[in-house]
Chains A and B, each alone.
Chain A
């Protein structure tokens, strides 16, 4: 086989792709913009070798003081953890229940009209954009310190998360079964509750379980702003330099969060 056998004509050669092609203007703008922010951020963080070595030293002394964990306050810590889990479950339950109507109003195939859908989407997007800690701060002002503020914050956060994923699910389920029910003369609500929700149910359950995991993690930190749960204990211990107590709290959180994730992934495996 000779080289000539594979020769190409000039009119074919013009279509040969170049080895490297220049990125589009859009890509350039994004790349340059990203690089600028990255460099500025890196510089303003004032990263120096001295600070890093000092940090490692401080971390070492934190662990030295934290070990062995002080279990003398285990009972009050356990009670605070129970309160955290309670807040998460109550908040998620209400959040998921409220997410369903919101999701139905957000979805193309279930919303009564465009305006309602647009308003519902805006509400859900707003709920999602505001972080849970900020919701907690707002509700502490509104209803005072304690778990109620935390529950309300988790409800808001869950709606922002679940309503969005529920509505995506409603939009992508097969149209056939709902059309079949419409064709029997069923009304819109019957179609929604007879076909759309049953078809989406497995996915709704899985999303809700993610909601529970997410809520437990946020319930842990909500206490930092006084919205109930174990966060109060943690911030108190840290401020009083009782690192050994803080470590106990962290370990309790770790065990509970991991346990919940295991349970929820076991349930998820069964429903999907």
Chain B
């Protein structure tokens, strides 16, 4: 069976900063792979490259059998429709309803785009399907509300409903719970994994919490300063072994994170600590 995602010799620069420094890995069909790494190690850049939002400088990225780094136009859109993405900041369209946001998940299926997906024009089947997806994430009653009136956890669940509406083969989740408090984060993680398992999707998910990574991931990839350092099944790893990913030269831009005491780094890191200094990082 072909690997859903395969990455070979990938390099990427932003100006003088060498962000991705020769990545090689593959994921297996139906598996949940968790990508770990400190802030600024290049995780998000990799995720963006995998959906074609950024272009790589060298190497090959194959997603769902398509070399996405070379894909343009229709092929790129077709491939993207087979790959769903969940973002740290949810990325719902704020001024429209929750229902419309879920309908947007079907955009890649319809060559006419918005003309078949806008609320007044969508066919009955898509409308029903969107409501089914919303019910699956437990938010059917919020269908007519504006997306920005929901809490963070609810917004991420709407994003999962949008993902379900898209029904891709592969899911890329870029720190899906980093903007949420621990409890909402765990609920979202639980829901995401349920949905993914039900539909037999392959997942690549970046996370900051080692305990959650080891609990949900089938396979763990550890990234440090733009390279893959750990590539092993989750059951063969312990949290202590993964600590090294957060020590020493972890960033791609040469800045060093504030040193934490041994005790602090050993504890599972809270979402809030991480989301606070993420924005300025180039990765």
Q: Which residues of A contact B (CB under 8 A)?
A: 176-177, 179-187, 189-190, 193-195, 198-199, 201-202
Residues of B within 8 A of A185 (CB): 77-82, 107-109
The answer to the question of B267 belonging to the interface, with a C-beta cut-off of 8 Å to chain A, is no
Which of B78, B80, B113, B162 is A190 in contact with, Cβ under 8 Å? B113
Closest 4 pairs (CB-CB, A-B):
A185-B108, A185-B81, A190-B113, A186-B107
The answer to the question of B129 belonging to the interface, with a C-beta cut-off of 8 Å to chain A, is no
The answer to the question of B217 belonging to the interface, with a C-beta cut-off of 8 Å to chain A, is no
Q: Which residues of B contact A (CB under 8 A)?
A: 51, 53, 77-85, 87, 89-96, 104-109, 113-114, 117-118, 159, 162, 166
The minimal Cβ–Cβ distance linking A112 to chain B, given in whole angstroms, is 13
20 more contacts with CB within 8 A, not counting A182-B53, A184-B85, A186-B113, are A176-B90, A176-B91, A177-B93, A179-B53, A180-B91, A181-B93, A181-B104, A183-B80, A183-B84, A183-B85, A184-B80, A185-B79, A186-B108, A187-B113, A190-B113, A190-B114, A193-B114, A194-B104, A194-B114, A198-B96
**Cα of A261 to Cα of B93 in the assembled complex, Å:** 31
Find out whether the CB atom of B93 lies under 8 angstroms from the CB atom of A198: yes
Most buried by B among A177, A182, A189, A198: A177
**Cα of A182 to Cα of B107 in the assembled complex, Å:** 9
A-B contact pairs, 14 of them (CB 8 A): A176-B87, A176-B91, A181-B104, A182-B53, A183-B51, A183-B85, A184-B105, A184-B106, A185-B77, A186-B107, A186-B114, A187-B107, A190-B113, A194-B104
Main secondary structure of the interface of A (DSSP, over half): helix
Residue of A nearest to B168 (CB): A184
The minimal Cβ–Cβ distance linking A19 to chain B, given in whole angstroms, is 37
Find out whether the CB atom of A199 lies under 8 angstroms from the CB atom of B108: no
Find out whether the CB atom of A184 lies under 8 angstroms from the CB atom of B108: yes
Find out whether the CB atom of B104 lies under 8 angstroms from the CB atom of A183: no
Residues of A within 8 A of B166 (CB): 184
The minimal Cβ–Cβ distance linking A86 to chain B, given in whole angstroms, is 31
**Cα of A80 to Cα of B94 in the assembled complex, Å:** 43
Residues of A within 8 A of B96 (CB): 198
**Cα of A195 to Cα of B94 in the assembled complex, Å:** 9
**Cα of A216 to Cα of B51 in the assembled complex, Å:** 49
Residues of B within 8 A of A201 (CB): 95
Find out whether the CB atom of A177 lies under 8 angstroms from the CB atom of B51: no
Residues of B within 8 A of A199 (CB): 93-95
**Cα of A250 to Cα of B159 in the assembled complex, Å:** 56
**Cα of A258 to Cα of B166 in the assembled complex, Å:** 51
The minimal Cβ–Cβ distance linking A266 to chain B, given in whole angstroms, is 20
Find out whether the CB atom of A189 lies under 8 angstroms from the CB atom of B85: no
Q: Do A179 and B80 contact each other (CB < 8 Å), given the known contacts A184-B108, A190-B113, A190-B114?
A: no
Residues of B within 8 A of A186 (CB): 77, 104, 107-108, 113-114
Residues of B within 8 A of A181 (CB): 93, 104, 107
Q: Do A177 and B113 contact each other (CB < 8 Å), given the known contacts A184-B80, A184-B107, A187-B77?
A: no
The minimal Cβ–Cβ distance linking B122 to chain A, given in whole angstroms, is 12
The minimal Cβ–Cβ distance linking B160 to chain A, given in whole angstroms, is 12
Q: Do A180 and B87 contact each other (CB < 8 Å), given the known contacts A185-B78, A185-B107, A198-B95?
A: yes
Find out whether the CB atom of B85 lies under 8 angstroms from the CB atom of A194: no
Find out whether the CB atom of B107 lies under 8 angstroms from the CB atom of A194: yes
Find out whether the CB atom of B81 lies under 8 angstroms from the CB atom of A190: no
The minimal Cβ–Cβ distance linking B95 to chain A, given in whole angstroms, is 4
The minimal Cβ–Cβ distance linking A194 to chain B, given in whole angstroms, is 5
Residues of B within 8 A of A189 (CB): 113-114
Find out whether the CB atom of A182 lies under 8 angstroms from the CB atom of B93: no
**Cα of A84 to Cα of B79 in the assembled complex, Å:** 55
**Cα of A184 to Cα of B93 in the assembled complex, Å:** 14
The minimal Cβ–Cβ distance linking B19 to chain A, given in whole angstroms, is 18
Find out whether the CB atom of A195 lies under 8 angstroms from the CB atom of B80: no
The minimal Cβ–Cβ distance linking A203 to chain B, given in whole angstroms, is 10
Which of A177, A187, A194, A202 is B91 in contact with, Cβ under 8 Å? A177
Which of B84, B95, B117, B159 is A202 in contact with, Cβ under 8 Å? B95
The minimal Cβ–Cβ distance linking B272 to chain A, given in whole angstroms, is 20
Find out whether the CB atom of A190 lies under 8 angstroms from the CB atom of B91: no
Residues of A within 8 A of B87 (CB): 176, 179-180
**Cα of A177 to Cα of B107 in the assembled complex, Å:** 13
Find out whether the CB atom of A184 lies under 8 angstroms from the CB atom of B84: yes
Residues of B within 8 A of A180 (CB): 85, 87, 91-93, 104, 159, 162
Residue of B nearest to A202 (CB): B95
**Cα of A176 to Cα of B94 in the assembled complex, Å:** 11
Residue of B nearest to A196 (CB): B93
